[in-house]
Structure 1
Amino acid sequence: MKKTFSLTHPKIALARRVEAVKHEIKKYQTRERKKALPADTDFWDFDCKFGSNADDARVIHVAEINKEIDQLVAAEQDSFYLEVLAIGRQRQKLASLSQPGDDDDDLDVSGE
């Protein structure tokens, strides 16, 4: 999704328009997550860019979209550009919790 959203409407209040935009973005993410995953991927991730227009859009995390929209409304801007692209990703293995040389003698994993 690459779209410039307008927050102004002659008949719809600003708060309702903001909620409608957030809902449209969430609906897009849900729809993309339901698609079949490509081979060698575990989950859908999203690459996001946010800005006042496409030229000055900066990379943000998908969880920051609503915060960015709220900040934009607080600054009284009437439109913004959002790019959300679904990317299949593979989960990374976590590093071992205990590193070689650590003293793990005091850990009791038996629950006693």
Structure 2
Amino acid sequence: MKKTFELTHPKIKAARMVESVKHEVKKYLKRERNKSLPEDADYWDFDCKIGKSETTADVIHVATINQQIDSLVTEGVTSFYLEILVKPATRSFEEK
């Protein structure tokens, strides 16, 4: 998912637009996690970026997406860029 989300609408309040974006992201993550994994993978990993525009997007962890959206909204942005790329991954175990 590579998308620029608009937070302004003539009839919908900004808080509902933010809620809608968070729901769309949650739905996308769930849909991707439910896909069948390749034989050599243990789980789906996500590469995420968020920012005011595509060129200024910073790399973040998937668990902090909602917090980053909230911080952008408190800054007063009217739109932001979100990129979520899925990839299969394997857990690495360290011996102790």
TM-score for both structures, normalised by structure 2:
0.96
RMSD of the TM alignment (CA)? 0.8
Within 2, Cα distance between the matches of 1:20 and 1:95? 44
Count of residue correspondences: 96
Letter in 1 for 2:46: F
CA distance in 1, matches of 2:73, 2:56: 18
More helix by share: 2
How far apart are residue 58 of structure 1 and its match? 1.2
Q: 1:51 is aligned with what amino acid?
A: G
Would you say 1:66 and 2:66 are equivalent positions?
A: yes
Q: Secondary structure at the match of 1:29?
A: helix
List structure 1 segments (4+ residues) > 6 angstroms apart after TM superposition: none
1:80 aligns with 80
Q: Percent identity?
A: 58
Structure 1: gaps spanning 5 or more residues: 97-112
Deviation at 1:39, TM superposition (A): 2.4
2:83 and 2:15 map into 1 onto residues whose CA distance is 22
Of the two, which has the highest radius of gyration?
1
Match of 2:29 in 1: 29
Q: Which has the higher contact order (CA 8 A, sep 6+)?
A: 2
Partner of 1:106: none
Alignment of 1:1-112 (within 5 A): 1-96=1-96
Decide which structure has greater strand share: 2
